[in-house]
Amino acid sequence: IQDSELSRAIPISTETGSDRLNLRQHFAIRVEPSIAGNSGFDLYYPPGRTHVPVDSISVNRSGMMQALADLTEPDGHFWLSNADGDERSVLVVYRSLPDRPTKILVMDDVSGLRAAYFTALYILVIVLALFLVGGAVLVIWLSTPLIHRLEASEKNYHTLFQSHTEGILLVTMSGMIENCNRQARRMLGAPRRLIIGRHILDFAPEVQPDGVLSRNVLTQQMRPENSAGGRFLLWKIKRYNGTLFDCNLSVKSVPLEGRQVYIVTLQDISRRRAAEEELRRTNRSLKILSESYALLAEAGNESHFLHDICRIIVEHGGYHLAWVALYSSQSDLRPVAQFGSRHGYLESIPLTWQLTSAERDGMFAEVLHTGRPRVFRGWNDLDHSRPTEEDSHSTWRDEVRRSRYRTMIILPLIHEEQRLGVLCILAIDRTAFDLPDHEFLVEVANDIAFAISVLRIRNKHHEADLELRKSEARLARAQELARMGSWEWNLSTNEIYWSDEHFRVLGVKREVFPITYRNILHRIHPEDRNEWRRTLRNLLQGNRTTHYSMRIIQPDGSICHLRGHALVMFGPDWRPEKIIGTTQDITERVLAEQQKQKLLQAIEQSPVSVVITDREARIEYVNPKFSEVTGYTYEEALGNNPRILKSGEKPPEEYAELWETITSGSEWRGEFHNRRKNGELFWEFASISPIKNSQGTITHFVAVKEDITERKLLEEQL
C-alpha cells in the first residue's frame, strides 16, 4: 500500500446505528487517532476496494472497537466474536507499517474449522476411550489369575514372615527399619509403631562386649561382600526398655521393589548363652582349680609355678592378661610372673613400688592392707584410685590405659596374715569379675598364696600336706555351701561318677548306693522321669548342652528339687563319649517361690485395694480390688500417680504431711475422699507404708485401702 493510496483511502462507516459491522476479509486498514484527527478509530479500505463482497465478515462493533483500543504491541493477533455471538470465532492478525501510525488487519472466520476440528477431536477421544476400555477389560481378564496367585503368594509370605520363629527386620540401606515380624517385636520388647522408622542401631548398645563399637560391626556386616551370604555373628541387642540380651544376627542384602534392602535375622540365644556361661563358669572353675592343684603337687620352682598359674588363668579363665607381683623386700613390690595377649609389656615400664606410708593410699597398698580385692571398671575408675596424680603407679597406669583392657581386678596374696603380694588380672569385657567370678578368683588367689607359702617351706612336708588338705577341704566346703554336685557318665564304659556333694544332695551314701542308671531313675520323681529321658535323648542326638530340672525322692520320702546343667563331650569321630554335668539343690528356693506365689495370690484375692508405687509415686502394681473400686484397669493405672483419684477436696498441706511421713520411713493412716474413673466420689481409709531394701533404703511404697463409702453414708444418716 503506497502513501498515495492512503491519502485516497475511503473511510468505512462505523456509526453506532447497529452493533453489526460488516468488513472485508482482507486488507482492512486502521489509522491511528492522531492521523485521523478524531478521538475514535477510523477504518479504511484502499482505493478501488470500497465495496463489501458477499464473503464479508460480520463482527460485533463494540468488541471490535474495544479490541483495537487495547492494542499495545506493534504486531500480533486477537480473537473476536462474530455478530451472531459465537465467541472466539474470528481471528484478527495485525501488522504495523514501518514509520507509520498505521496497521494492516487481516481477518478470517474460523468457526467452521473449529467445529470440524472439535468434531474430529470428539471422534478421536471416543475411539481412544473405547480402545482403552477394551484393552483394560482384556488386561483384567488376562491378569485376574495372576492377581489371585500374587495375592495368595503375598498372603503366604505375610503369614510366613509373621509366624517365623526367628526375629526378622526389613532394613533400608541407610539402616532404618521398615518392617518387623511378631517374633522381632517380642524380642525387642516394643510394639510395631515404636520399631518402624527407627535406626537399627537404636536397638544395640554403643559398644559390643568385645569392646568394638556396634556401628563399626554393623557397617562391616552390611558391606556387599559380607551381606551377600547372610552369615551369623554374635550380637548384643538392646530391648526397648534398655535391657540387653544375646542373639545371633544375620544381615543379607536382597532386591525388593526395584531397590536393595537388608533382611536382618535375629536368633535369641540368651538362654543358651546363659546355660553355656553357667556351665563354662563351673567347668572353668573346676579346670583352673584342678590344674592349679596339679601344678602345686609337681611344683619345684616358685617362678615357674607362678608363670604356669598365670597361663592357666588366662587360657582356662578366658581373661587376657594375668600377672603376679611379690614383695622382694619389706616394702618393695615387684612383678615376677605374667602371661597374656601382651606378654612382656610389663618389662617395658618400671614396676617397682615402694609401699611406704606415702603410698598407703595407693591401689596395691590398699588391697594388701585391707586384705580385700579391688575391681576397676574403666580407666576413669583407675584414675580416681589415688587422690594425687604424681605417684609411682602413674607410668604403669598410662601404659594400661593405652591398651584395650577395660576391667581389672587386684587380689591380695595373703596367707596366714602374711602379705606375699598381689594377683592382677585384666580383661576386655566390662562385665568381667562379677560376683561369681569375684568369689572364685578370691579362692584362686588364696590357693596361689597357699602354694607360694608351701614352696617357700617345702622342707616342711607335713605342713605342706596339711595346707593342701585344707585347701581341698575349702573347695569341698564351697561345693557343700552351694549344694552343688558334679557328675560324669562315660558312655563307652557306662560308668557313672558322682562327687561327694552329689551324694549329699541326693541324700544317699556312696557306700550303700550303687550308681546305676536304673537306681538313678528310681530316685527321680515319677512325673519327671520321662522329661529326664527326653533330656538325655536330646543330648545324645546332637544337643551339646542343656539345663534340666527335676525332683528327687530321698530315702526318707522327702522331695528334693534339683537344677542342673549337662554337656556332651565328643570323640575324634564326633560321637558322644561322655556327659558331664552339675546338679544343685534348689529346694529352699522352690519353697520360697511357692510361698511368694501364695502371698501374691493372697494380695490378688484380697478384699481391700493394694497399690505399690516406686519412690517417685509412680504406680507399679494394683490388685483387682483396686480396679473394682476405682474403675481404672491395671493397664490404665500402671505408671500413673495415685493423684488420678484426687477429688480436690483434701488441702495440699495434708498431702505434704503424708509425703513427709512416709519418706521419713513411718506409716501414714488416714481417709481420702477420692473420685472414681466415672466421676463418682467415694471414701477410702488408707494405710501407706514405705518398703525398704536390705540396706534400709526406701525403694517403694505400699498402700492398703478400704472402701468405707457405705460406712460414711451410714454415719451421716445416724
3-state secondary structure of 247: strand
- The CA distance from 346 to 296, in Å, is 25
Largest CA distance in the chain: 154
Would you state the cell numbers that stand for residue 13, as one nine-digit string?
462507516
pTM for the whole thing? 0.35
- CB 607, CB 625: distance < 8 Å: yes
- Name the residue type at position 658: L
Picking from 39-53, 172-186, 414-428, which range would have the lowest pLDDT averaged per residue?
39-53
- The CA distance from 321 to 315, in Å, is 10
Angle at 226 between CA 220 and CA 228, to 5 degrees: 140
Q: What average pLDDT does this structure show over 442-459?
A: 80
Give the architecture-level CATH label for domain 606-717: 2-Layer Sandwich (3.30)
Q: What average pLDDT does this structure show over 446-457?
A: 82
- The CA distance from 264 to 204, in Å, is 13
Position 23 pLDDT exceeds 70 = no
Position 90 pLDDT exceeds 90 = no
Q: How many helices (H) and strands (E) does the chain have?
A: 22, 29
Q: What average pLDDT does this structure show over 579-606?
A: 83
Partnered with residue 413 across adjacent β-strands are 421
- Name the residue type at position 81: S
Position 1 pLDDT exceeds 70 = no
The pLDDT value recorded for residue 151 is: 66
- Would you list the DSSP string of 48-65? T--S--TT-EEEEHHHHH
Strands (DSSP E) contained in 269-386 are 321-327, 332-340, 353-354, 374-377
- The CA distance from 552 to 379, in Å, is 49
Which of 35 and 105 is assigned the larger pLDDT? 105
Q: Where are the alpha helices (DSSP H) in 498-609?
A: 500-506, 517-523, 526-540, 587-604
Radius of gyration of the chain (CA): 48
Which of 280 and 564 is assigned the larger pLDDT? 564
The pLDDT value recorded for residue 460 is: 61
Picking from 223-227, 417-421, 467-471, 521-525, which range would have the lowest pLDDT averaged per residue?
467-471
- The CA distance from 562 to 599, in Å, is 24
Residue 207: DSSP 8-state: B
Position 46 pLDDT exceeds 50 = yes
Residue 506: DSSP 8-state: H
- CB 421, CB 325: distance < 8 Å: yes
Picking from 187-191, 198-202, 244-248, 458-462, which range would have the lowest pLDDT averaged per residue?
458-462
Q: Where are the alpha helices (DSSP H) in 176-240?
A: 182-188, 214-221, 224-227
- The CA distance from 352 to 392, in Å, is 8
- In which band, very low, low, confident or very high, does the pLDDT at 482 lie, cut at 50, 70 and 90? low
- The CA distance from 673 to 655, in Å, is 13
Instruction: Report strand pairing: 10-12 vs 619-622.
Output: unpaired
Which secondary structure element, helix H or strand E, spans residue 297, and what is its range? helix 270-298
- CB 437, CB 425: distance < 8 Å: no
- Would you list the DSSP string of 335-366? EEEEEETTTTGGGGS---EE-SGGGTTSHHHH
Domain positions in the chain are 3-109, 164-268, 274-480, 483-591, 606-717
* Listed residue (322, 553, 576) closest to 433, CA to CA: 322
Would you state the cell numbers that stand for residue 595, as one nine-digit string?
510361698
The mean pLDDT value of the chain amounts to 78
Would you state the cell numbers that stand for residue 414, as one nine-digit string?
595373703
Determine the topology of domain 483-591 in CATH: Beta-Lactamase (3.30.450)
CA of residue 51 relative to chain centroid, distance: 95
Instruction: Report strand pairing: 484-490 vs 332-340.
Output: unpaired
- The CA distance from 373 to 314, in Å, is 19
* Listed residue (120, 66, 53) closest to 92, CA to CA: 66
The pLDDT value recorded for residue 620 is: 92
| Beta-carbon count within 10 A of 394 CB | 13
Instruction: Report strand pairing: 57-60 vs 681-692.
Output: unpaired
- The CA distance from 302 to 296, in Å, is 10
* Listed residue (385, 307, 389, 388) closest to 344, CA to CA: 307
The pLDDT value recorded for residue 440 is: 80
The pLDDT value recorded for residue 352 is: 57
- Name the residue type at position 479: Q
CA of residue 662 relative to chain centroid, distance: 37
- In which band, very low, low, confident or very high, does the pLDDT at 176 lie, cut at 50, 70 and 90? very high
Position 280 pLDDT exceeds 90 = no
- Name the residue type at position 43: L
Which residues have CB under 8 Å from 198's CB, separation 6+?
176, 177
The pLDDT value recorded for residue 80 is: 78
Determine the topology of domain 164-268 in CATH: Beta-Lactamase (3.30.450)
CA torsion, ordered 147, 152, 153, 158, to nearest 10 deg: 130
Burial class (CB in 10 A: 0-12, 13-18, 19+), 564: buried
Highest mean pLDDT among 203-217, 285-299, 430-444: 203-217
Whether 274-480 shares its CATH topology with 483-591 is answered yes
The pLDDT value recorded for residue 28 is: 46
- The CA distance from 28 to 93, in Å, is 11
- The CA distance from 292 to 338, in Å, is 16
| Beta-carbon count within 10 A of 204 CB | 20
- Calculate what percentage of the chain has a pLDDT beyond 70: 76
- Calculate what percentage of the chain has a pLDDT beyond 90: 11
The pLDDT value recorded for residue 76 is: 83
The pLDDT value recorded for residue 668 is: 92
Q: What average pLDDT does this structure show over 369-392?
A: 63
Residues 597-631 have pLDDT tens digits of 888 787 888 888 999 999 999 999 999 999 999 99
Determine the topology of domain 274-480 in CATH: Beta-Lactamase (3.30.450)
- CB 489, CB 579: distance < 8 Å: yes
- CB 487, CB 345: distance < 8 Å: no
- In which band, very low, low, confident or very high, does the pLDDT at 301 lie, cut at 50, 70 and 90? confident
- CB 519, CB 512: distance < 8 Å: no
Partnered with residue 266 across adjacent β-strands are 167, 249
Highest mean pLDDT among 9-23, 195-209, 227-241, 395-409: 195-209
Residue 75: DSSP 8-state: S
Burial class (CB in 10 A: 0-12, 13-18, 19+), 313: buried
The pLDDT value recorded for residue 43 is: 61
The pLDDT value recorded for residue 367 is: 85
Burial class (CB in 10 A: 0-12, 13-18, 19+), 609: buried
- The CA distance from 108 to 92, in Å, is 7
Residues 533-561 have pLDDT tens digits of 888 888 888 777 888 888 888 888 888 88
The pLDDT value recorded for residue 358 is: 41
